[in-house]
Chains A and B, each alone.
Chain A
Amino acid sequence: MPVVAPFSGDTRGVSDSSSNGSIVPFSPEAPNHSAVYALRHGLKPPIARLSISWSRGNTLRVSVLRQPSDDGEAGGRVVEVNLSNGDAEISDAQWRRIAYGSVTPFALLQSRRSSVSSLSKMSISPSHYHVDWWEYVMEYSKDIVSLLGHRKSPSGTVIEDPREIVKTVEEPTSLKAAWDLMEIFYADKQSQPWLPERLVDWLTDYDCLLSSTQTTVHSKLVGFQKELVSLQVIEDYPKYWEVISSALAIGWLELVVKMLRLHGSYELDQLGNRETENGLVEAVAVLISKMPRMRLELAEGKAGECFMAKPDFMKAWEKWRAQISKLDSSAYWVECDHLQTREGLKNMLQIMLGNTNSLSAATCHWVELYISHLLYIRPFTVGLESMNSLAQKCMQLKPMSSTHRLIELMVGILGENTEVVLAECSRAFGPWMVAHATELMTAGSDQAEVLLHEERDNLGEMSIAELHRLVYAQVLASHVLTWQIAPVYLISCMKQGMGLLELLLCKQPVQHNETLLKNIEICRLYDLDSVSSNIMKVAGVYHWKHGRKGAGVFWLQQARDEVRLNRIAKYLFDSVGKSISDESFKQWEGLIELLGSESKTAGGLDFLHKYRDFKKSLKQVQVGKTTDASRQAAESLISLMKNPSTPQQFWLPLLYDSLKLLNWQERPLLSVSQTNLLLNKLQELSMAKLRPDFIEVDLPPQALSSVRLALATNLGRAILEE
Chain B
Amino acid sequence: MPAEKDEAKEPRARPRLIIFMASFLVSHSTLFSVVCCIAGLIALLLLPILAKSTYISENALMPGSANPVFSGQDVSEASRLVKDITETQKMGKTTGIEIQRLIIQRMADVGAEVYYHKFQSQSNQFHPFRFFSCDSNSAVTESNSNTSNGLNTVGIIRAPRGDGKEAIVLVTPYNSEYVKLNDALSLGLGFSIFSHLSRVSWLAKDILWLAADSRYGEYSSVSAWLKDYHNPVFFSSENVDANVTHDKDFLNMENKNMLNGRNVDVFKRAGTMAAAMVFKVGEAMERDPRDILTIYAEASNGQMPNLDLINVVHYLAVHRQGFRVNIGKLASLVNSAWLNLVGQILEWLGNLAKNLNPKWNFGISSADYAEGAATVASSMYHQALGVPTGSHGAFRDYQVDAITFSFSSRFYLNNENMQSSFILRGG
Q: Do A and B come from one complex?
A: no
